Amino acid sequence: MFKNLKPLQREVHRALRFAPVQPYHFAAQEVQVPIMAGEAAMIAREYVIAFSLQDPAPPLALVGVRQDTNAYVRPSGHWVARYVPAHVRRYPFILADGPSPQSNGAAERQFALMIVAEAPHLGESAGEPLFNSDGEPAPVLQKVRDVLIAMQRDTSRTLQLVKQIQVADLLIERDLKVRTRVGAVFNLKGLRVIDAEKFAALSAETLHDLHRSGALQLIQAHLMSLSNLRDSPLIEGGPAVVAPSSDAISFEGIDWSRLGRPADSTTH
């Protein structure tokens, strides 16, 4: 989805405008989408949450069982769910990071705002300008940056929670089976889930630690989400169609109150 990324530069993209109301064709080939802890409860209502075999990696929302086919995107470009994952809604913007050496030899994490330049959301004729007449970031671009930085913080926190779950030895590799209403069966491989027996046998102290950090809430969201293997667009049916909306970059519904202390910065 985020392909051919280019850094957003005022000298190059000064005339660029952002029109957020677009169909979701850009995500039509996605089958797994990374999620954050702050949205896990909303994700669990609509999608199956699983854990990657890679480490470190955020949890995943499963959005397809057929290769290169997102079951939640209709041919019209409408998204079939009440909630669209934040990773999808931030398109075509994303932060790229890398170490920036300081004079004392230490490395400070820096972020650059990247764009998918060919995305239908971006152009020079429609939408709100990303830069004002002085070449400074316009309000919509400032809002985009704020949201992306918040997402970066919650992603970092989410990775810490997954690590805590791993340390508790709760993740086990399992194939997830999806049976469609016409009888076809798909086995989703390369995923991990919570080991129910080990989870039930956890000590009170470990449960308390998982609760305090927020990892327990993520575990509960994952376990609740597994019911969507029986009733979701993954089995070719589901809730009513949701059209692209003007709040595509606002991220209402995500609980940012649990974000860590601000420690990130962006580069232009």
Per-residue pLDDT of 173-227, as tens digits, reads 999 988 877 777 888 999 999 999 999 999 999 999 999 999 999 999 999 999 9
Does 102 have pLDDT greater than 90? no
Between these two residues, 159 and 177, which has the higher pLDDT value?
159
The domain total for the chain is 1
77: left (phi over 0), alpha (psi -120 to 50) or beta: left
Beta-strand runs (E) in the chain: 5-7, 17-18, 32-34, 48-52, 60-62, 93-101, 107-116, 122-123, 128-129, 171-179, 185-194, 266-267
pLDDT at 236: 64
Q: To 10 degrees, what angle do helices 215-225 and 139-167 make?
A: 90
Place 109 in a pLDDT band, splitting at 50, 70 and 90. low
113, 148 in Cβ contact below 8 A?
A: yes
Asked whether residue 233 is domain-assigned, the answer is: yes
Question: Which range of residues forms the domain containing residue 81?
Answer: 5-237
Asked whether residue 260 is domain-assigned, the answer is: no
Question: 141: how many CB neighbours lie within 10 A of its CB?
Answer: 22
Q: Could you tell me the pTM of the whole model?
A: 0.84
Asked whether residue 251 is domain-assigned, the answer is: no
Identity of the amino acid at 45: R
Asked whether residue 32 is domain-assigned, the answer is: yes
pLDDT at 232: 83
Asked whether residue 197 is domain-assigned, the answer is: yes
pLDDT at 234: 83
Q: What are phi and psi of 51, to 5 degrees?
A: -115, 140
Asked whether residue 105 is domain-assigned, the answer is: yes
23: left (phi over 0), alpha (psi -120 to 50) or beta: beta
pLDDT more than 70, % of the chain: 83
Does 88 have pLDDT greater than 70? yes
Q: Which helix (H) or strand (E) is 221 found in, with range?
A: helix 215-225
Asked whether residue 111 is domain-assigned, the answer is: yes
Asked whether residue 262 is domain-assigned, the answer is: no
Does 33 have pLDDT greater than 60? yes
Does 254 have pLDDT greater than 90? no
Q: To 10 degrees, what angle do helices 215-225 and 204-213 make?
A: 90
